[in-house]
Amino acid sequence: MPLRWAQCSLALCLAGCVTPSSSGSAPQGGLPSFELLDLDGNSVRLADHLGKEVVYLDFWASWCAPCQAQMPQLEALYQRYRERGFVVFGVAMDDPTTVGQVAPAAHRVGATFPILLDSQGRAVTLFNPGKSAPYGVLIDRKGHIVEQHVGYAPGDERSLEARIQSIL
């Protein structure tokens, strides 16, 4: 299945640009982990979920319109499949000047999946060095990246759902 990629900066994110496809793979020796705080101040470690659940890392920002449009679709997938071991982590890439907008933005779109604050770029450096938004990384129960996706267009959630179903 071809993947659609977009290289998005703040300005380009709003335009939803797209560049050629590529596929991701896990680094040799497994995936790196990160530890970030959620909106309630609890520490969340990716390593605690790798090898146990299907994980979707959603890199987003409060200022990114396509990110906001995608989040209700991710919420629906999270609600539909979380009982089967699917978890979404919304990794907010907001910097210290906009991090105060993360909780209101997540609340506005109805996100109940964990929202993690990455204002220092720990997870971004590991999984999204291009700082694209939105940017998704789907990780199977074995801890391998099975899909990476940049950008959002209505309907993208259908192919993501099919991929989730195939690895659950």
Spatial contact of 17 and 6, defined as CB atoms under 8 Å apart: yes
* One-letter amino acid for residue 27 of the chain: P
Which CATH architecture does the domain made up of 52-167 adopt? Answer: 3-Layer(aba) Sandwich (3.40)
Instruction: Indicate the pTM of the whole model.
Output: 0.83
Please give the Cα distance from 109 to 129 (Å, whole number). 26
Task: Say which DSSP state 47 is in.
Answer: G
Distances (CA, A) of 137 to 56, 58, 166: 6, 7, 15
User: What residue spans define the domains of the chain?
Assistant: 52-167
Instruction: Please tell me whether residue 139 adopts helix, strand or coil conformation.
Output: strand
Spatial contact of 97 and 133, defined as CB atoms under 8 Å apart: no
pLDDT at 11: 31
Spatial contact of 150 and 134, defined as CB atoms under 8 Å apart: yes
Grade residue 167 by pLDDT with cuts at 50, 70 and 90. Answer: very high
The number of C-alpha atoms within 13 Å of 114 and in the hemisphere containing its C-beta is 23
- The tokens describing 118, both together, are 């990455």
How large is the average pLDDT for residues 82-99? 97
Tell me: cis bond preceding 20? Omega within 30 of 0 counts.
no
51-85: pLDDT as tens digits? 999 999 999 999 999 999 999 999 999 999 999 99
How large is the average pLDDT for residues 82-109? 97
pLDDT at 30: 81
16-37: pLDDT as tens digits? 322 222 233 333 338 999 999 9
Indicate the angle between helix axes 156-167 and 65-81, nearest 10 degrees: 30
Which runs of E-coded beta strand occur in 35-117? Answer: 35-38, 43-45, 54-60, 86-92, 115-117
User: Do the bridges between strand 135-139 and strand 54-60 make them parallel or antiparallel, or are there none, so unpaired?
Assistant: antiparallel
Please give the Cα distance from 18 to 33 (Å, whole number). 28
pLDDT at 34: 96
